[in-house]
Amino acid sequence: MPYVISDACIACGACEAECPASAISEGDPHYVIDESTCIDCGACSGVCPVDAPQEKA
């Protein structure tokens, strides 16, 4: 399942650079993942300081 970014996101931008699929972009109020582009690698979760990216249930 694709990852989704929760409201815990503090918009630091760290995950955007780490995504191999370029699925992450700045949104309002927080960063967002394009679910159709995400390849479910988990890299965003690994770099996020607040653990905001979570695998969609």
What residue ranges bind ligand SF4 (CB under 6 A)?
3, 5, 9-15, 18-19, 21, 23-24, 30-31, 33, 38-44, 47-50, 52-53
Amino acid at 13: G
Q: Which helix (H) or strand (E) holds 14?
A: helix 14-18
Contact 5, 30 (CB under 8 A): yes
Please report how close the Cβ of residue 28 comes to ligand SF4 at its closest, in angstroms. 13
Please report how close the Cβ of residue 27 comes to ligand SF4 at its closest, in angstroms. 10
Please report how close the Cβ of residue 46 comes to ligand SF4 at its closest, in angstroms. 8
Read off the tokens for 15: 């995950």
